[in-house]
Amino acid sequence: MKNLITFYLKRRFFSRLTLILGLVVFRACGFITHADRLSETETKQTVYLDESCSFLAEQLISRSNIYRDTKNDTDNNCVLCYEDGWILTGKQITEELIRQVENDVRAVESEIYLRKADLVEKEFIERYKKSFTVSVKNNKKTDVSTLVVSAVFYLILTYSNLISNEIIYEKSTHMLDMIICCAGERAHFFGKIITAYLSLLIQGTWIVSCRFFWLVIRFSEDHFRGLLELAEGYVDTQNIRLNGESILLLGLLLIVSLLFIQIVMMMVTCMFRDSEEAATFQNVYYVILIALYYLFVIRGGPIEGSTAIELILSYVPLVTMIFMPVRVLTGQAGSLDVIMSIVITTGVLAVMVELILPQYKKLLLRK
């Protein structure tokens, strides 16, 4: 089995394509670590001025090019209005933008009042205190649960078909007979699973190393200030309740669940005679996964409170890796729940392997 695993790993990683992909990952990590600078140049936010603040529109527009006095196409931008104080309404409003608007409004108002001849100093101070704080409304940020679910779905899509595609290749090249003949079906079964995990580990290590390298560089540049500001603008981290123990347990749950999905996919793929049959199934599988994902995103995730169905699904092996992390992130489930989910998944997995293994050869070599 050791030889088989070594061979599978060599096949996966010792190629020009893998080397190129490795470099792409390295570059991608660099881009992610400097994402704030990319967004700075490309997605500078525009502040639309409502009619309620027309009295200082001209000055604000002349002061900075982020202000516009039209209300057209305001869907993706923010609007500044005045209703007993300054209100900024919109999506993904960064702290930086709020500070800039506050500064600009303060400066323009000061200018206007200072120009007035009958200005009473006390009145100005009162007005200054009252009005120059900008409050934010409807600032929609991406909640972390959606991000986590996206990552989990990505992992499922990437890794669930990894083994099955290899089996199909071996079947279509008739190499499977040779391997089974030489190494046996047991070695093949466990060899595939171990290889998949070692691949995950190797790829994960490479990605983490790249990230670490770029983070060190970023830390030396600005102590992550820009990145943190970006995250603050886009990601809602207020509801997150996560600690080291939870992260560790969720990681374990992810590994066990991926193993579960891989074995299910492996067994399903074994039944197919060729790549055409497998592709038909995989297409349906991908469509279902994507449909589930969009359903989750449209619903906004279970951040507002789990329903009974979601509660049950968070313990069901095939979908636990989607629902449990979200429940943990929102503080609706604790370490004990994750442990229970791991135990259930492992138990079902053990029973499944016990039942499946005797049938594996038969299914695998089906003609």
CA distance 112 to 129: 16
CA distance 260 to 160: 9
Give yes or no for residue 3 binding other proteins (CB under 8 A).
yes
Our CB check for other proteins shows the closer of 131 and 275 to be 275
**Which residues make Cβ contacts (< 8 Å) with residue 130, sequence separation at least 6?**
85
The distance of closest approach from Cβ of residue 241 to other proteins in the complex, given in angstroms and rounded to an integer, is 49
The distance of closest approach from Cβ of residue 263 to other proteins in the complex, given in angstroms and rounded to an integer, is 22
Our CB check for other proteins shows the closer of 2 and 129 to be 2
The distance of closest approach from Cβ of residue 189 to other proteins in the complex, given in angstroms and rounded to an integer, is 14
Give yes or no for residue 4 binding other proteins (CB under 8 A).
yes
Our CB check for other proteins shows the closer of 183 and 311 to be 183
The distance of closest approach from Cβ of residue 182 to other proteins in the complex, given in angstroms and rounded to an integer, is 4
Long-range CB contacts for residues 304-310, cutoff 8 Å, separation at least 24: 305/332, 306/332
Question: For strand 78-82 and strand 86-91, is the pairing parallel, antiparallel, or unpaired?
Answer: antiparallel
CA distance 363 to 262: 16
Neighbour count for residue 135 (Cβ, 10 Å): 11
Our CB check for other proteins shows the closer of 191 and 325 to be 191
H or E stretch covering 79: strand 78-82
Binding pattern for the stretch 337-366 against other proteins, x by CB under 8 A and - elsewhere: -------------------------x--x-
Query: How far from chain centre, in Å, is Cα 109?
Result: 42
Give yes or no for residue 16 binding other proteins (CB under 8 A).
no
Query: How far from chain centre, in Å, is Cα 223?
Result: 23
The distance of closest approach from Cβ of residue 7 to other proteins in the complex, given in angstroms and rounded to an integer, is 5
Binding pattern for the stretch 172-191 against other proteins, x by CB under 8 A and - elsewhere: -xxx-xxxxxxxx--x----
The residues that touch other proteins, with contacts defined as CB under 8 A, are 3-4, 7, 11, 173-175, 177-184, 187, 362, 365
